[in-house]
């Protein structure tokens, strides 16, 4: 059985232009926020009629939450990669930062979109992003609780630590993006800072109740 529906040449074509719209929107959002993105802009970029928009989305916010699922879906891959790393603390930090940098290079538009709209002007999208990031936080907290170092950490404390990691990941990804764009410090500086921050947190973690 297939994930969505039966083959359906009809449905296939539809999902194809839908994806084209999402891609076009992501491109247009490089230089503006979602709350100023026009429905006609998107359809024009794809090469369809404005009215055709409504065959796929109710309005722009609706398209926005679809973008959230897509962008943070790809981030989900990264998070699970980070969690399955099982080396020592030091190497773990190194590979984490490197993976984040690689991810930003692979999906810059996704990173920008999430960073921009996390506190952006469209309520629905803000809530969708918050929900997904909370989900990430819970995953991280679960993974942390399985480690030996989590011996005497309460669930609430693990959640706090996981949230710190997630926030730091987003912040680091965004810093890499700015670096890649020439706004702000160089990529190697960003990497150094990110590693140092994680080392600091790791130290605090080791002495949490020492």
Q: What is the DSSP letter of 147?
A: S
For residue 126, which of 29, 32, 61, 37 has the smallest C-alpha distance? Answer: 61
- Binding of residue 62 to DNA (CB under 7 A): no
Number of Cβ within 10 Å of residue 103's Cβ equals 22
Residue selected from 27, 32, 40, 98 as contacting DNA according to rule CB under 7 A: 40
3-state secondary structure of 87: coil
10 binds DNA (CB under 7 A): yes
In the complex, least distance from residue 64 CB atom to DNA, rounded to whole angstroms: 12
Q: Where are the alpha helices (DSSP H) in the chain?
A: 9-28, 39-46, 60-84, 89-106, 108-118, 123-145, 155-181, 187-206
Site string for a second copy, 119-158 (x = CB under 8 A): xxx-x--xx--x--------------------------x-
Say whether residue 109 binds DNA (CB under 7 A).
no
Closer by beta carbon to a second copy, 18 or else 118: 118
Task: Name the residue nearer to a second copy (CB basis): 46 or 190.
Answer: 190
Burial annotation 188-197 (CB, 10 A radius, 16+ → b, else e)? eebbeebbeb
> Of 208, 73, 87, nearest to 153 (Cα)?
208
Q: How many angstroms separate the CA atoms of 72 and 79, rounded? A: 10
Q: Does 193 bind a second copy (CB under 8 A)?
A: yes
Half-sphere exposure of 151 (CA within 13 A, CB side): 7
Residue holding tokens 């973690």? 205
- Least distance (Å) between residue 156 CB and a second copy: 8
Q: Does 171 participate in binding a second copy (rule CB under 8 A)?
A: yes
Query: Is residue 27 a contact point for a second copy (CB under 8 A)?
Result: no
Work out how close the CB of 122 gets to DNA at its nearest, in angstroms, rounded to a whole number.
13
Pick the closer one to a second copy by CB: 7 or 183: 183
Closest of 100, 107, 105, 97 to residue 67, by C-alpha? 107
Nearest CB to DNA, comparing residues 38 and 204? 38
Q: What residues line the site for a second copy (CB under 8 A)?
A: 29, 31-36, 112, 115-116, 118-121, 123, 126-127, 130, 157, 160-161, 163-164, 167, 171, 174, 183-184, 193, 196-197, 199-208
Contact positions vs DNA (CB under 7 A): 6-14, 17, 38-41, 44, 47-56, 59-60
């Amino acid at each position: 059985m297939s994930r969505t529906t039966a083959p359906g040449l009809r449905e296939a074509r539809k999902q194809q232009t839908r994806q084209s719209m999402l891609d076009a929107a992501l491109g247009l959002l490089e230089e503006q926020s979602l709350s100023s993105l026009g429905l006609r802009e998107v359809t024009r970029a794809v090469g369809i009629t404005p009215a055709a928009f409504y065959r796929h989305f109710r309005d722009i916010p609706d398209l926005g939450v679809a973008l959230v699922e897509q962008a943070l879906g790809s981030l989900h891959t990264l998070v699970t990669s980070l969690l399955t790393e099982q080396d020592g603390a030091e190497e773990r930090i190194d590979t984490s930062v490197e993976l984040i940098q690689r991810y930003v290079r692979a999906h810059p538009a996704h990173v920008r979109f999430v960073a921009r709209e996390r506190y952006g002007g469209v309520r629905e999208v803000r809530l969708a992003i918050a929900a997904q990031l909370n989900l990430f936080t819970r995953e991280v907290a679960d993974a942390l609780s399985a480690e030996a170092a989590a011996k005497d950490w309460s669930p609430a404390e693990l959640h706090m630590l996981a949230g710190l990691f997630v926030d730091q990941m987003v912040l680091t990804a965004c810093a890499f993006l700015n670096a890649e764009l020439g706004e702000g410090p160089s990529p190697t500086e960003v990497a150094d800072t990110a590693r140092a921050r994680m080392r600091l947190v790791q130290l605090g973690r080791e002495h949490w109740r020492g």
